[in-house]
Structure 1
Amino acid sequence: MARRRKKPGLPREAQLLLGLLLVAAAVVGWYFQQGPQAPGPQPPTPTVTADAVRIATWNLKHFALRPGLQLATVASIIHDGGFDIVAIQEVKKEGEAVDRLLNTLGPPWRATSFSPMTGNYERFVFIYRGDRVAETAKPRFVQDPEAGVFDRTPYLAGFRCGNFDFLLLSVHLSYTDVARRQAEARALARIAARLVAASVEKDLIVVGDFNEEKRRNFLSDFDAMRWSRLIGQGTNLSGRETYDNILIDRKFTGEYAGKAGVVKFDETRFDNDDKSAAEQVSDHRPAWADFAANQPDDD
């Protein structure tokens, strides 16, 4: 009896390819049968409302890509604080740490141009939420006959959020040279007065690290001009000194919403371990204040 001849089949390589195509088709079909996937966990909603802008100031200790720095923690503090704009002092080198911080924060965060290098090899910069805040004036060192008094020349920029347009003047007064700090504080008050007098925009907010100590009232000239210090809590990690502040002239800046504070990250995130808090984040706490963004423009 003759043996039946086998019908010719597909080559082995073709069989493998066909099998892979069938498996892929099955997987794609299963995926589309599942429908839209549920979104992942959403970040917590900041406490600031859409009708207000939260302005913060933060001296980020020796802010460079240094050992120990935890940019994820810095970004988390900014996010959880509900900040819309942050004036940052003590930026080092070319600002690489700020660029990395923006990458960590993600959209819509962006930065102004950095200031040129100033005293103690530092720079100033402002970072802000581009979906909430817009720049209205290119940042620059303050231009004033008394600007030479400062070791770190103050940095001025203009912004707008909703109906609220304002100028931010970021400062970092001398710490080690007490006499110079006093001279800088007094010159700063006169410069602020001249800026308001000369500008169409009267909403000038002076922010930063004034290194103000309780035993020395070097900001008394601002008090004499009836400006308000919005921060009353301690901004160093011990909580004993309010080095950092936000100053406004209520006569012009009626948009202040009456709400300001300090983020005590050293307590909430580091259980009062000041050494770790300073190494991983900063030896200063961020300070913030809320301003109405939905009122008619008053200047």
Structure 2
Amino acid sequence: MPFYQNINPQSAEGKRTIRNLLLLRKALKARIPEKQEGSLLIATWNIREFDTPKYGGRTAEAFYYIAEIISRFDIIAIQEVKEDLSALKTLTAILGSHWKYLFTDVTAGRQGNGERLAFLLDTQKVRFGGLAGEMVLPPFQTKDRSTGQVVYEPVKQLARTPYLCGFKAGWTTFILTTVHILYGSAAANDPDRLGEIKEIAQAIAKKATDKYEWSNNLVLLGDFNIYSPEDQTYQAIKAAGFVIPDALKSLPGSNVPKNKFYDQIAFKVKPRRFDPTGKAGIFDYYQYVFTLNDEHSYADQMGSAYSITSKGRKKTAAEKTRYYKTYWRTYQMSDHLPMWVEIKTDHADAYLTAKLHSGKDSTDETRHG
């Protein structure tokens, strides 16, 4: 569990934080399975511009809520980690020394948006396996018509370089690849977005049959900016051979209104080696923290921008609520909700049973030989 010793129970903010943590902990316990040996809780969460000074920056209160949620998982992929790593350091300090992080450098260029990708892992359960890399698409191979020589032509890389790392949990090894796919235009099947999803899904899928790959259990997760399961962008993941568990297919959208399916977790793994348990979810923390009913209690923290427009006009009640609901609180928590899935990793019974039967067969053959 996270460390709470720095919460001041004498201040109004501290009291509110403690009360809300109690609500949050109760809800998390009811909606997410307890961590246990033999299973693995994998999650993905786009934490909006983590961290940025926009809208006054994140409060200490928000960090406690984020840490409480993350602590319920064994490993989580985080998107939109910004250049300044102080937020990541603050978060892990609350989580405790057994939590570690791995992250990329900043993706250069305007489309990169100054972002990093990261993994946070509870080392009491998950170990880093040694494999880490940023995914670069291979060059296109063709032949020069005049000379017949093989020519390698560079291809357009993804706007934000996917990050893949190998991990171990018990007997199980697996590779997580996290992405933050280009949004592009506000269209369900933006061609640039569709192209990125196809490229990364196909490139990662090839690793499933590579005998020299560190692990053939591949998990593709993160923010794909998918609008709907009916879209080509969603189908491109499946076309590459990845499977999205039924428990995830039945979930609502992962944006705050729950009408967009931006975040996904897809698998291309060995049979009976990395099996979903049937438990998965989207956790809506806004039912417990930074709720719509809490708006007025944060008026002082939101400052003058909450009540006055940039032109000096007083905001209406509706405008104030929109500022709190759509902007300020989403820069405290996020405009995405965390998605999680539980995986069975304990196959000892099946292994021992197979070993026993193998031994019996061997004895029988010798006896009848």
**In the alignment, which residue of structure 1 is the partner of 2:275?**
255
What corresponds to 1:90 in structure 2? 80
For 1:71, which of 50, 63, 87 is the aligned residue? Answer: 63
Give the Cα–Cα distance (whole angstroms) in 1 for the partners of residues 43 and 326 of structure 2: 21
Please report the RMSD computed on the Cα atoms of aligned residues, expressed in angstroms.
2.5
Q: Which has the larger radius of gyration?
A: 1
- The one-letter amino acid of 2:183's match is Y
Is residue 179 of structure 1 aligned with residue 191 of structure 2? yes
Distance 2:202 2:88 in 1: 31
Paired with 1:212 and 1:176, the residues of 2 have a C-alpha distance of: 11
The secondary structure found in structure 2 opposite 1:245 is strand
The Cα shift of 1:251 comes to: 5.3
CA distance in 1, matches of 2:337, 2:287: 10
Question: 2: CA distance between counterparts of 1:134 and 1:148?
Answer: 34
Instruction: Please give the alpha-carbon distance, in whole angstroms, between the structure 2 residues aligned to 1:95 and 1:176.
Output: 26
Give the corresponding residue for 1:282: 334
Kindly provide the amino acid, as one letter, of the partner of residue 105 in structure 2.
Answer: P
The answer to whether the 8 Å contact 1:266/1:277 transfers is no
Match of 2:125 in 1: 132
Segment of structure 1 superposing worse, 141-150 or 63-72: 141-150
Question: 101, 104, 108: which one pairs with 1:111?
Answer: 101
1:60·1:89 contact (CA, 8 Å) conserved in 2?
yes
2:40 maps to 1:53: yes
Any conservation in 2 of the 1:237–1:274 contact (CA below 8 Å)?
no
Q: Per the alignment, do residues 274 and 265 of structure 1 end up closer, same or farther by CA in structure 2, a change over 3 Å counting?
A: farther
Structure 2, unaligned runs of 5 or more: 1-21, 140-154, 293-324, 352-369
Q: Is 1:208–2:222 an aligned residue pair?
A: yes
Number of matched residues?
254
1:217 is aligned to: 232
Q: CA shift at 1:50, angstroms?
A: 2.0
The equivalent of 1:228 in structure 2 is: 243
Offset of residue 250 of structure 1: 5.4
Q: Does the 8 Å contact 2:208/2:268 carry over to 1? A: no
Aligned match of 1:33: none
Is the CA contact (8 Å cut-off) linking 2:136 and 2:157 kept in structure 1? no
- Quick one: which amino acid aligns to residue 87 of structure 1? A
Corresponding position of 1:166: 174
Normalising by structure 2, report the TM-score. 0.63
Alignment equivalent of 2:91, drawn from 83, 86, 101: 101
Give the deviation of 1:276 after TM superposition: 4.9
Query: Secondary structure, in 3 states, of the residue corresponding to 1:218?
Result: helix
The residue that corresponds to 1:239 in the other structure is 258
| Identity level (%) | 29
Amino acid at match of 1:269: V
Partner SS, residue 194 of structure 2: helix
Question: In 2, Cα distance between the equivalents of 1:226 and 1:153?
Answer: 21
Match of 2:149 in 1: none
Q: Could you tell me which residue of structure 1 aligns to residue 157 of structure 2?
A: 149
Which shifted more, 226-235 or 96-105? 226-235
Aligned CA distance change for structure 1 residues 75 and 228 (closer, same or farther; 3 Å): same
- SS of corresponding position for 1:228: coil
Runs of 5+ in structure 1 lacking a partner?
A: 1-40
Looking at secondary structure, tell me which structure has more helix per residue: 2
2:291 maps to a residue whose letter is D
Distance change >3 Å, CA 221–CA 176, structure 1 → 2: closer
Looking at structure 1, the residues matched to 83 and 269 of structure 2 have their Cα atoms a distance apart, in angstroms, of 37
Residue in structure 1 matched with residue 49 of structure 2 by the alignment:
62
Q: What code does the residue aligned with 1:149 have?
A: Q
Match of 1:14 in 2: none
CA distance in 2, matches of 1:76, 1:188: 32
Matched-pair contact (CA < 8 Å) for 1:236–1:243: yes
Deviation at 1:94, TM superposition (A): 3.5
